[in-house]
Amino acid sequence: MAADASGAAPDERYDEKDEAYFSYYAMLTHQAQMLQDAVRTSAYQNAILQHAAAFQDRRVMDVGAGNGILSLFAIQAGAAVVYAVEASGVVGCLRQLAAAAADAEAPVNPWARNKLAVVHACVEDVTPAMLEASTPAGAPAGAQVDTIVSECLGVLLVHERMCESFLEARDRFLKPGGALFPRTGTLCFSLLSDARLWQEVHTRGEWWNTSNFYGVDLTPFVGASRAEAFASPVVGCFSPMHIVGAQTDAATAALVCPEDAVNRYLVDFSTVSLEDLRTFDVPIAFDCVTEPVVVHGLGAWFDLSFLQPGEEGDEAAGMGGMTTSPFAPATHWAQVRLLFAEPLALNRGQCVLGTLHFSANASRSYDIRAELHVPLAPETPEVPLYRRTALWKLDKQTYSWETPGA
């Protein structure tokens, strides 16, 4: 099969097991959904334009460029050339975009002429020679770039494992001291009380609990069905009214994490290693101090920061960052709910301690294992009154959105 301008034959750009993944992102329907996420698109444009010094006359790489919107924002900020690296079939539209900008008679986006270099490959397969071959005439060439941008984010930040491609590009192509957008991502967790959703998931698992389905006893499937239902994270926007408890006091939190970095996990894309991203732990420490409550699971989301080293800003207020929190306007990532098969009944003053273990799996996602306990007494937080363990498969996610006002 003939190779294209990227130097790779079409069937060598990604493994066969990834064909469905890349076919999904080749669909303009899904590309439009991401563009229409105004929180996401505006956050990236604002961050790039507000950091024009990192783009002006610079060589830029856009990892997983998709429809090319981040590449175009980089050019708007003054980039000399942007290498739009994209493995899926949407690359054909990217090439049309570049060609339209260079049209001598009726250019579209003429400000992008000879600045958009389309590279059809996974970034793991890109070579310096491919960058050189793709560089438009008159644009500065070289084996490294000054800045890397990427919308490498899946549900709960790490689903789809595109963050690893971002780090691969950083390690192979970013000049020392170069800029990354985004620079950090933070996984955030809360306790969740949602009886309606828990009952909905419980019902899914109980459907097989019948001894006479057209004369057939289906109960041998019940155990596996229950486990499958509660191992499936629920993706969708939920009201912050379901969040209960608060981060526990520093002394108790220190028992599970001496640095007091509980209920969240910071990924610094400028320093994190691939190995650190593939397996990591999140310390959990929550108080329920106001009234007795039933906890049905955990709520989860992520925040982003585009602030560069030495900068200060309020990411939560939209200055240099973005959040997918239930307290903020919705994004297409929504939030994630991780439900317990057996809820926790907490009395006033009781807390929840433990750890979430994240492990990358072969399905472009993560297994999340929870080991939690409720302490016997406040003065002995390390002694469990009772424990809960759970396993969630982030790639087996299901969906449920709340009705506004419900």
pLDDT tens-digit profile of 149-162? 999 999 999 999 99
Euclidean distance between CA atoms 318 and 331, whole angstroms: 14
- 242/389 same-domain check: yes
Does 91 fall in a domain?
Answer: yes
Residue 62 neighbours by CB under 8 Å, 6+ apart: 68, 70, 71, 74, 82, 83, 84, 85, 148, 149, 150
Where does a domain end: 97, 130, 151? 151
- 224/80 same-domain check: no
| Torsion sign across C-alpha atoms 344, 299, 350, 368 | positive
pLDDT of residue 259: 55
Model confidence band, residue 9 (pLDDT cutoffs 50, 70, 90): very low
Q: Is the pLDDT of residue 203 over 50?
A: yes
pLDDT of residue 6: 41
Q: Is the pLDDT of residue 15 over 70?
A: no
Does 180 fall in a domain?
Answer: no
| H runs (alpha helix) in 119-190 | 128-134, 163-173
Say which range, 14-18, 239-243, 293-297, 340-344, has the weakest mean pLDDT: 14-18
Question: What mean pLDDT is reported for the chain?
Answer: 90
pLDDT of residue 5: 43
In whole angstroms, how large is the CA radius of gyration of the chain? 24
pLDDT tens-digit profile of 219-234? 999 999 999 999 999 9
Model confidence band, residue 320 (pLDDT cutoffs 50, 70, 90): confident
Model confidence band, residue 378 (pLDDT cutoffs 50, 70, 90): confident
- 195/145 same-domain check: no
Is residue 125 within 8 Å of residue 8, measured between CB atoms? yes
Where does a domain end: 101, 129, 151? 151
| The length of the chain, given as a count of residues | 406
What is the average pLDDT across 101-105? 91
What CATH number does residue 79 fall under? 3.40.50.150
pLDDT of residue 204: 93
Does 249 fall in a domain?
Answer: yes
* High-pLDDT (> 70) share of the chain, %: 89
Higher pLDDT, 11 or 208: 208
pLDDT tens-digit profile of 128-144? 999 999 999 889 999 99
Name which of 190, 161, 393 is nearest 300 in CA terms: 190
Does 342 fall in a domain?
Answer: yes
pLDDT tens-digit profile of 37-53? 999 999 999 999 999 99
pLDDT tens-digit profile of 185-195? 999 999 999 99
Q: Roughly how many angstroms between the first and final C-alpha of the chain, as a whole number?
A: 56
Q: Is the peptide bond before 176 cis (omega within 30 degrees of 0)?
A: no
- 95/221 same-domain check: no
- 25/105 same-domain check: yes
346: three-class secondary structure by DSSP: strand
- 386/299 same-domain check: yes
pLDDT of residue 167: 98
Say which range, 56-60, 245-249, 391-395, has the weakest mean pLDDT: 245-249
Does 317 fall in a domain?
Answer: yes
Number of domains comprising the chain: 2
Does 66 fall in a domain?
Answer: yes
Tokens of 117: 């270099």
What CATH number does residue 280 fall under? 2.70.160.11
- 232/365 same-domain check: yes
Where does a domain end: 136, 151, 166? 151
- 248/380 same-domain check: yes
Is residue 89 within 8 Å of residue 22, measured between CB atoms? yes
Q: Is the pLDDT of residue 258 over 60?
A: no
What is the average pLDDT across 278-291? 90
Does 5 fall in a domain?
Answer: no
Model confidence band, residue 25 (pLDDT cutoffs 50, 70, 90): confident
Tokens of 328: 């903020």
Q: How far is CA 4 from CA 100, 119, 121, 326, in A?
A: 20, 10, 10, 44
Say which range, 264-268, 315-319, 338-342, has the weakest mean pLDDT: 315-319
- 126/215 same-domain check: no
pLDDT of residue 1: 35
Does 169 fall in a domain?
Answer: no
What is the average pLDDT across 284-304? 92
Q: What is the pTM of this model?
A: 0.90
- 256/391 same-domain check: yes
Higher pLDDT, 404 or 267: 267
Euclidean distance between CA atoms 205 and 154, whole angstroms: 27
Domain that holds residue 86: 10-151
Q: Is the pLDDT of residue 7 over 90?
A: no
Is residue 350 within 8 Å of residue 273, measured between CB atoms? no
Model confidence band, residue 349 (pLDDT cutoffs 50, 70, 90): confident
pLDDT of residue 399: 95
Higher pLDDT, 259 or 95: 95
- 196/344 same-domain check: yes
Q: Is the pLDDT of residue 184 over 50?
A: yes
What is the average pLDDT across 186-207? 96
Q: Using the 8-state DSSP alphabet, how is residue 190 labeled? A: E
Is residue 170 within 8 Å of residue 147, measured between CB atoms? no
- 140/202 same-domain check: no
Q: Is the pLDDT of residue 12 over 60?
A: no
